[in-house]
């Protein structure tokens, strides 16, 4: 059953209170991920038979939006944890019993590293991670270029190309011999997510996982929910700024109405499904909204908002994340056309 509204409000307040520390140390150091675990939010992604609550897609999307509205760093980490949990949930009963109850409680942490199968390094023409099956089992070789929370995770769900050219998926213990976690990348924003490259040198996986139904896709509803949450946060700050400056009221009201419209579209997609073209259009709309709302908020905050550490400055940097994170070509093209003043498809 969904988390009660009052409890979700309390979680939001805690995430906001911890957000500055989370941006520096990540949700593990600040305690924001523990906040999610205590409230039962992590269990929403875990099936009931595996120790969770098994929430529906609309509830999961709404939860991600709330978390992103109050702390985008925590939301990014949560989205990657959730993606890994979905793949583990499709595994056999032994793996599910071993992994999922502890993940639902927040006792263990997992993450996902499959961007090499979708958007990262595809242009190089060779598989970034390769899987070889020999007499003694599977071995993984290569590098996962983007792994959120890599040095804070007990396990990693990754994908590779086998000797027959097929996609295969594996659960890897980050403590396994041959796993090398690089230093966290110093990114424009969200460095607290401790995103890093992970090297695999003849690594024996802990388990083989089923490929996701329909294959690996970029730009799912989670990315839209996070962009919507970022737009929400910008409009919240703009609305507060407008409280003493009536000239800002129509600007804040217009952007708030657009946030509500995108939220309604996202809810309908979560309840009834959405085709790939429609999903890309919604992702483009949410990305554009996050960028415009954050820039409007910075403009309203004037010079004070341009100083490092001001919420407006942080929101502008964080909105840029949606230009590069799991961004399908159709979405990237729409954004580029919009920036160039060309018609958007």
Q: Is 146 helix (H, G, I), strand (E, B) or coil?
A: strand
Model pLDDT, residue 214:
62
Q: What is the pLDDT of residues 322-334, one digit of tens each?
A: 999 878 888 888 8
Local confidence band at 338 (pLDDT 50, 70, 90 cut-offs): confident
Model pLDDT, residue 328:
81
- Per DSSP (E only), the strands in the chain are 110-113, 129-134, 137-147, 155-162, 167-173, 179-181, 196-203, 207-209
Give the residues across from 201 on adjacent strands. 141
Q: Is the pLDDT of residue 5 over 90?
A: no
pLDDT, averaged across the chain:
93
Q: What is the mean pLDDT of residues 148-157?
A: 97
Q: Is the pLDDT of residue 135 over 70?
A: yes
Q: What is the mean pLDDT of residues 291-307?
A: 97
The CA distance from 266 to 219, in Å, is 13
Q: What is the pLDDT of residues 251-268, one digit of tens each?
A: 999 999 999 999 999 999
**Structural domains for the chain:** 5-108 (1.10.540.10), 111-209 (2.40.110.10), 221-340 (1.20.140.10)
Model pLDDT, residue 159:
94
Q: Is the pLDDT of residue 148 over 90?
A: yes
Local confidence band at 219 (pLDDT 50, 70, 90 cut-offs): low
Local confidence band at 123 (pLDDT 50, 70, 90 cut-offs): very low
Local confidence band at 125 (pLDDT 50, 70, 90 cut-offs): low
What is the residue whose two structure tokens read 């996070």? 226
Local confidence band at 122 (pLDDT 50, 70, 90 cut-offs): very low
Give the residues across from 162 on adjacent strands. 131
């Amino acid at each position: 059953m969904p988390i009660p509204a009052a409890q979700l409000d309390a979680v939001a307040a805690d995430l906001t209170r911890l957000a500055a520390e989370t941006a520096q140390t990540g949700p593990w150091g600040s305690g924001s991920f523990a906040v999610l675990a205590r409230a039962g939010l992590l269990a929403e992604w875990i099936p009931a038979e595996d120790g969770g609550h098994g929430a529906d897609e609309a509830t999961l999307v709404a939860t991600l939006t709330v978390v992103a509205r109050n702390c985008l760093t925590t939301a990014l980490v949560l989205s990657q944890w959730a993606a890994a949990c979905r793949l583990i949930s499709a595994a056999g009963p032994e793996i599910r019993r071993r992994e999922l109850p502890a993940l639902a409680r927040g006792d263990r942490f997992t993450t996902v590293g499959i961007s090499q199968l979708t958007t990262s390094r595809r242009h190089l023409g060779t598989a970034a991670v390769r899987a070889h099956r020999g007499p003694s089992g599977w071995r993984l070789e290569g590098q996962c270029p983007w792994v959120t929370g890599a040095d804070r995770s007990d396990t990693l769900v990754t994908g590779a190309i086998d000797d027959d050219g097929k996609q295969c998926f594996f659960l890897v213990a980050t403590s396994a011999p041959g796993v090398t976690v690089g230093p966290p990348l110093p990114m424009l924003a969200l460095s607290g997510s401790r995103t890093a490259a992970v090297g695999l040198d003849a690594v024996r996986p802990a388990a083989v996982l089923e490929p996701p139904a329909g294959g690996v896709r970029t730009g799912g509803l989670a990315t839209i929910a996070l962009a919507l949450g970022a737009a929400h946060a910008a409009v919240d700050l703009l609305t507060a700024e407008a409280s003493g400056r009536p000239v800002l009221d129509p600007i804040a009201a217009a952007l708030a109405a657009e946030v509500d419209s995108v939220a309604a579209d996202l809810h309908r997609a979560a309840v009834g499904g959405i085709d790939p073209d429609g999903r890309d259009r919604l992702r483009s709309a949410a990305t554009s909204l996050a960028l415009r709302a954050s820039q409007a908020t910075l403009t309203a905050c004037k010079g004070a908002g341009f100083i490092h550490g001001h919420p407006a400055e942080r929101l502008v940097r964080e909105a840029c994340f949606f230009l590069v994170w799991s961004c399908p070509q159709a979405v990237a093209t729409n954004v580029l056309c919009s920036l160039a003043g060309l018609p958007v498809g």
